[in-house]
Structure formats: structure tokens, C-alpha cells
DNA sequence: CTGAAAGCGCTTACAG
DNA sequence: CTGAAAGCGCTTACAG
């Protein structure tokens, strides 16, 4: 493990200056600071606890923290599992709270005694991931994708499986296929929408613009989605939903409205934990193992910081399509719910 | 913050000996070691990261780690939230992996740079909680209760609310009320069973022993519970379930069997996150806010280690009973499902 | 098994 | 803004 002396020699400064950079003390010129920080990341300086080194890997929310979603809970569970197979412990960091404006991310992480970080990002904070990777600090983004090869990531790829799901619906006779996705423009939802669109195009179906909804990814929004689609004057006979909580909300709402799944409308949901079995009927869904995502992310970062694994990680985990009870052949005529709650079979309408 | 010198003076040894104890080095007599460890906990020694002190609070699983259950995910979420309001970070510890047989828990925690711990326990590991508290290290158990006043804890108290739930069922006409609980003998399930039993006794109802099931707390076991109760020759007309996943599994299974809730059987579930809205109908349930449990636990430990809060914490958080769609008046005659899947109304049978 | 003392890694007044 | 040097907290051979 390098000491301040090693860093000093390499950066051609005194150990005092290295210490000042480590502590983000005032009175270091910008270029010296930059040079020292680069050497720190190149040699892999590690903050000592007493005379030992820390064995901490950070899980950093670039925005507000949440473990409440099944996705985040599962990622967390996978990370905790992986941590048991290594010498490293997982510490939760919140960059919004902790980052001082004058310090670099490397300085923040060293101050926390963290040797590597797993980054949980949102569209709003992709820039943060770029900066951290740019500083050269060992890091990996979980659940998103970057074109810049210097940014490490692990994510599930659900474009082809969503294509497959939509194609399955077409195969059993559906042509009026709606889609609902989170209103967040992340790569996951973009991929899934693309899979949906490609499948329709591939089979000569033009997606009706009324049949696409982007909403916040909460259960209640899923209920709204079902409500709006089924009360539409041109109701779909099948719905693809690209988010777990939206999917659950949609199923629950169908029950409430007296809309039968799959007799009146088919539903393909998305599940990254095991929510598909919490609803009735068990949900046909594009599935991803978010637990594994967290597990692999942790092992990858542990490998980076211990030097036993690659320093570059660009991985796509497989997703899959499971057929259960929420999909079936379309009704003879599309079913629609009137404002008074009555369920009626419409005349078959053109598919757009 | 005390240094090794302060500890040495107080324990009447040299700083070398203090250091040996901190590092669990061989060659320290048992009594000296003990004396030094006590002073360490009394003065509150803190491992430094470099020349700074750590600001870590540990969340320690005394057994295998899991964040996958809605309960643990919610606790975690609450802790992460609370952490943002303090200077402390949350680190996940696994005592099974980390504890060396020769070291004390205090030594383990100092080695990890942890200043206080929140303990997640099971019946099998209550002894671990006692030992940690016995050493005097700042700690608090979340989700369980201890009679020994030296052990800090925060838990929800769901005995009275379960009593209230059972009484509600009796109030709307039920006398054939079954109960299913986790097979884990923790204080939560013991309390809830007691609440159920007291309510029945209070209204002169003798609980039929066939109407009590203890099973593992997984969704599939909840399905089994529903199955067994509804195929019993003496079926209940209402079921109280004391665990969230069991509750969800039971509702799903009722759908599968064609048993109508609440027309054929009423169900009072338990929910510590927001699962009650994931099923249809929305579940009448005894509710607890596990998020708040984690939130308060973290703030309490942060208060202990920063000296701004009490060193002794014995708190019960309130739980409450919410009436939704899974409860209603009992059927005219109890409904039973025959082996062939047929649903039949039985002759009214004696309540035991 | 224990302490006095040398030493290590880092930080911080002090000097320029 | 930077370095030489004193100093701090801790650890570790060494001596008994």
C-alpha cells in the first residue's frame, strides 16, 4: 500500500503537500493539487484506520437515497450477500449530503475511508458518474449504461426480452397493444420502449400514440394507467408495462374496475424482484434479477480495489420473459369501461 | 475524544498495553484486557481514520443478512434517511463473517471503525445482543424487546392492535376465527398471537386448535395456510395473519381457489411497508411503520455516540389497525373447498 | 505478561 | 504556495 511518501516522490512534492491535498487544506495551487490527486488514484492510496487500512466499499446515491423500491432493496440485498464473500464492508454514502463544493470526489471518498464505489444514478446525475470515473477513482455504475469506455457499469439488458414479450402478444392474436413506462428517461425504460416499438414495426403494426403513457413509477400511477387505457374510446387489448410497481398498480386497478385479466385485457409486466407472484393472476413479465445486479456490482468493485479483478467492467446481465396468467388471446371485441363503470365490448376498431 | 494515553492512565497500564488490547494482540492477561476494554467503552474510544475519527454507525445482522423482505428493506430505508440528518454513515456488518473467536465485540467494532451499532436479531441470536450490551458498547436492538434494562431496543408493539383487529372481526359477527403466524418465536409474533387469544377469550370464544398455524414467513407458506384452512372440515370464517408475506400469499391463494374475500372468508393481515395495497382487495391489516423503526433506531444510536441523546433507549412505536376490503360480515354458513376444488357452504358448526 | 522507547504515517505550525 | 521539521497517535521490536 502506498504511503504519503510514495505519492510525494511520484508527484515530486513534499509529503506535507500530499497531506494537504488529502485533507483538502487551503493553500495548494490548482495544478499541484490536480497532479497529486492523479498520482493518488494511480497508485491507489488508501486511508488508514489507525495503522490498518479500511476495507470499505461505498454504495453511493448520486441523488436522494431510497431502498424502498423492490429494485433498490434487491440490489442492496445482492451487495450484502457479495460482501460476505469478500473482506470488504458496504457503507452507504450520500453524495448530496457529503460532497463539499471545494473538494473532489476522490477527496470525499478518501475522507470517508472508502476504497471503491458503486454508483446508483438517475438521469439527472449521470454527470456525477462521469466526473468520478474521470478522476480515476475505482467506481462502477449499477443499472445504467454509458458509451464512454472509461465508465464502468453493470446493467440488465431488457430490450430484446421486451421485444420478445410484445412479439408473444402479437403471436397470440393481439394487434391493439399499449405500453406504459416510467417518465424517467433512463436507459432501461428507453430500451424497453424500443423493444416494444421494434416488435410492433416488425409485424407491420403502427403504434397508436394514444397507447403510450409515461408516468411516475409508483403503484398509484400504474392504477391510473390501467384506468386511462380501459376507459379510452379506442381501448387496447393488451398492455406492456415496463416497471414493477406500475405493473402491480395496473393489475390491482383492473380488479377494482371489474376488468378481467387476461379475458378482457392481457398484461405483460416487468419484475426485478418477485412481485409477479404477489398479484393474481401471477404476472406474465419481462424479468430481471436485481439481486444479481447488486451482487455482481459489489464483486466487480471488490475485484478492482483488491487488484484481483479487471479495472474495466462493461457488463450486461441477461433478462428473461416469463409467461404466466396475465396474458391470453384477445377478446373477440375490445373491452372498454364506460364512465359509469359499465364494462362493454366495443366494435372492433382499426388498429390505429 | 480520548486517546490511548487517556485509556492507559485510567486503566493504569502503559499505552503499549492499550494498543495491544485495541488490536487484540496476543500476550495480554485476561484481567488486564478486560479492565482496558471496560475503560475503552466507558470513555468511548474511537478509531481514527488518518488523524480524523470515523463517523460510522453499523447495522449488524447477528445472523444471515437479508434486505429482501419488505420489513428489512423498510428498516434500511429509514436508517438511510436518518443518516442524512446526522454526520454519521451507515455501514453493513456481518457478525457471523467478521467476528474472530478470540476478540470481543468491542474489539471487532473498533477494528471496523464503528462507533455504535444497530442490531438486527433473531431468536437464535438474542444472546449476541446481550453480550454486546454487556460489554458496554453503544448498541440498540431494532425490532425486538428485552427485559434486561441494559439492552437498548426500539420495536413496534402490535399486541393491542392485534387484539383490536380480532375484536373487530368478532364485532361484525365472526366467531370462527383462525390465526397464522411465523414459526419464529420472536416477541412480535408472540405479542400478536397473544392479542388474538386475549380478544377471543375476552368474548368467550375458545380458539379451536385446528385454527392456529405456525409456518415459515414466506409467501408460499401463506398460500398453504389459506389452502389448509379453507379445505378443513371445520373451516373458519375469518383469518388473522401476523406476517406481511404470509398475508399476501393467503390472498393470492384465495383467488386461485376461487374463495371470495371477504364474502367467503375475511382476512386481517399484517403490513409493515405498503404491501396491503399490492393485493386486491386492499388488505385490512394491523400496520407498523418499519421505515420509522429504522429511522428512530439510527437517530437513537447517533444520539448515543455523539452524546446528544440518552444512553438508554427502551421504546415501543405505535402500530395501528386499518380496515380495508378483505374483511366483512361472515357468510351465512362457513364456506369450505372440497378436494375436487368445489366450493360449498357447510352447515353451521359449533365454534369448537 | 508488561513497559520504555524507537519508529511509522500523517498533520501542522513555522519559515520563506 | 511550498517544504523542512516538530509533533501526534499509535504500533512494535526489545528488554526484563
- The whole-model pTM stands at 0.91
pLDDT recorded at residue B352:
43
Mean pLDDT of A12-26: 86
Q: Does B90 touch chain A (CB under 8 A)?
A: yes
pLDDT recorded at residue A280:
96
Residues 6+ positions from B37 with CB-CB distance below 8 Å: B21, B104, B106, B107, B135
Percent of chain B's residues with pLDDT above 90: 66
- Nucleic strand C near CB of residue B39 (< 7 Å): no
Task: Between B27 and A266, name the one with better pLDDT.
Answer: A266
Nearest 5°: the CA angle B83, B85, B91 is 15
Q: Are strands B320-322 and B343-345 parallel, antiparallel or unpaired?
A: unpaired
Task: Between B49 and A115, name the one with better pLDDT.
Answer: A115
Q: Does B258 touch chain A (CB under 8 A)?
A: no
- In angstroms, rounded to a whole number, what is the distance separating the alpha carbons of residues A230 and B335? 34
pLDDT recorded at residue B51:
58
Residue whose cell numbers read 409493515: B272
Chain A residues with CB inside 8 Å of B50's CB? Answer: 22, 47-48
- In angstroms, rounded to a whole number, what is the distance separating the alpha carbons of residues B67 and B80? 13
- Nucleic strand D near CB of residue A51 (< 7 Å): yes
Mean pLDDT of A92-113: 87
The pLDDT of residue B37 is above 80: yes
Mean pLDDT of A276-280: 96
Q: In angstroms, what separates the C-alpha of B288 from chain A's closest C-alpha?
A: 15
Q: Which of A73, A99, A248, A276 to mutate to test the interface with B (most CBs of B within 10 A)?
A: A73
Q: What is the pLDDT of residues B213-260, one digit of tens each?
A: 999 999 999 999 999 999 999 999 999 999 999 999 999 999 999 999
Chain B residues with CB inside 8 Å of A83's CB? Answer: 92, 94
The pLDDT of residue B349 is above 60: no
pLDDT recorded at residue A49:
62
pLDDT recorded at residue A352:
43
CB burial of A286-310 (b: ≥16 within 10 Å; e: otherwise) equals: bbbbbbbbbbbbbbbbbbbbeeeee
Mean pLDDT taken over chain B = 91
Q: Which residue is nearest to nucleotide C11 (CA to C1')?
A: A19
Mean pLDDT of B309-329: 97
Give the count of alpha carbons within 13 A of B39, CB side only. 23
pLDDT recorded at residue B350:
47
The pLDDT of residue B49 is above 80: no
Mean pLDDT of A154-159: 96
The pLDDT of residue B351 is above 50: no
Considering only the C-alpha atoms of chain A, give the largest distance between any 2 of them, rounded to a whole number of Å: 83
3-state secondary structure of B240: strand
Left, alpha or beta for B170 (phi > 0: left; psi -120 to 50: alpha)?
alpha
Phi and psi of A211, rounded to 5°? Answer: -100, 20
Mean pLDDT of A327-337: 95
pLDDT recorded at residue B280:
96
- Nucleic strand D near CB of residue A7 (< 7 Å): no
Nearest to A250 by CA among A272, A276, A274: A276
Chain A residues with CB inside 8 Å of B72's CB? Answer: 73
pLDDT recorded at residue A196:
97
Pair A98, A113: CB distance under 8 Å: no
Chain A residues with CB inside 8 Å of B80's CB? Answer: 65-67, 92, 94
**Residue B61 bridge partners (DSSP):** B94, B120
Question: Which residues from the 133-162 window of protein chain A have CB within 7 angstroms of nucleic acid chain C?
Answer: none
Q: Of A67, A274, A277, which is closest to B77 when you measure between CB atoms?
A: A67
The pLDDT of residue A122 is above 60: yes
Task: Between A205 and B2, name the one with better pLDDT.
Answer: A205
The pLDDT of residue B348 is above 70: no
- Nucleic strand D near CB of residue A13 (< 7 Å): yes
Q: In angstroms, what separates the C-alpha of A200 from chain B's closest C-alpha?
A: 30
Pairs of CB atoms within 8 A across A/B: 126
Pair A249, A218: CB distance under 8 Å: yes
- In angstroms, rounded to a whole number, what is the distance separating the alpha carbons of residues A56 and B93? 11
Q: What nucleotide is nearest B48 when CA is compared to C1'?
A: D9
Chain B residues with CB inside 8 Å of A3's CB? Answer: none
Cell of A277: 407472484
Percentages helix, strand, coil for chain B (3-state, rounded to 5) are 40, 20, 40
Q: What nucleotide is nearest B20 when CA is compared to C1'?
A: D11
Across B54-68, B250-264, B326-340, least confident range: B54-68
Q: Of A76, A94, A280, which is closest to B256 when you measure between CB atoms?
A: A280
Band of the pLDDT at A159, cuts 50, 70, 90? very high
Crossing angle of helices B30-43 and B4-11, rounded to 10°: 120
Q: Does A273 touch chain B (CB under 8 A)?
A: yes
Mean pLDDT of A245-263: 97
Amino acid at each position: 500500500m502506498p504511503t504519503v511518501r510514495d505519492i510525494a516522490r511520484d508527484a515530486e512534492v513534499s509529503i506535507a503537500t500530499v497531506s494537504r491535498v488529502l485533507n483538502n487544506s487551503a493553500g495548494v495551487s490548482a495544478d499541484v493539487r490536480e497532479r497529486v490527486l492523479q498520482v493518488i488514484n494511480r497508485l491507489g492510496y488508501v486511508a488508514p484506520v489507525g495503522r490498518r487500512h479500511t476495507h470499505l466499499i461505498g454504495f453511493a446515491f448520486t441523488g436522494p437515497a431510497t431502498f424502498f423500491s423492490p429494485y433498490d432493496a434487491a440490489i442492496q440485498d445482492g451487495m450484502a450477500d457479495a460482501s460476505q464473500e469478500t473482506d470488504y464492508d458496504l457503507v452507504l454514502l450520500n453524495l448530496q449530503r457529503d460532497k463539499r463544493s471545494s473538494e473532489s470526489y476522490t477527496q470525499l471518498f478518501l475522507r470517508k475511508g472508502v476504497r471503491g464505489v458503486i454508483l446508483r444514478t438517475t438521469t439527472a446525475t449521470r454527470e456525477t458518474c462521469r466526473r468520478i470515473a474521470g478522476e480515476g477513482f475505482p467506481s462502477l455504475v449499477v443499472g445504467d449504461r454509458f458509451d464512454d469506455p472509461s465508465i464502468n457499469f453493470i446493467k440488465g439488458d431488457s430490450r430484446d426480452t421486451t421485444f420478445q414479450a410484445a412479439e408473444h402478444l402479437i403471436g397470440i392474436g393481439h394487434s391493439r397493444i399499449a405500453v406504459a413506462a416510467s417518465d424517467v428517461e433512463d436507459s432501461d425504460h428507453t430500451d424497453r420502449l424500443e423493444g416494444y416499438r421494434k416488435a410492433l414495426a416488425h409485424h407491420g403494426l403502427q403504434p397508436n400514440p394514444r397507447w403510450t403513457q409515461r408516468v411516475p413509477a409508483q403503484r398509484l400511477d400504474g392504477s391510473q394507467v390501467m384506468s386511462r387505457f380501459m376507459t379510452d374510446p379506442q381501448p387496447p387489448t393488451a398492455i406492456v408495462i415496463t416497471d414493477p410497481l406500475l405493473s402491480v398498480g395496473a393489475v390491482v386497478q383492473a380488479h377494482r374496475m371489474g376488468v378481467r385479466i387476461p379475458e378482457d385485457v392481457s398484461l405483460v409486466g416487468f419484475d426485478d424482484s418477485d412481485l409477479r407472484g404477489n398479484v393474481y393472476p401471477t404476472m406474465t413479465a419481462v424479468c430481471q434479477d436485481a439481486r444479481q445486479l447488486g451482487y455482481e456490482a459489489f464483486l466487480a468493485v471488490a475485484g478492482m480495489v483488491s487488484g484481483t479483478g479487471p479495472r474495466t467492467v462493461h457488463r450486461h446481465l441477461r433478462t428473461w420473459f416469463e409467461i404466466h396468467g396475465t396474458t391470453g388471446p384477445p377478446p373477440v371485441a375490445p373491452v372498454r369501461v364506460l364512465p359509469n363503470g359499465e364494462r362493454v365490448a366495443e366494435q372492433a376498431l382499426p388498429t390505429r
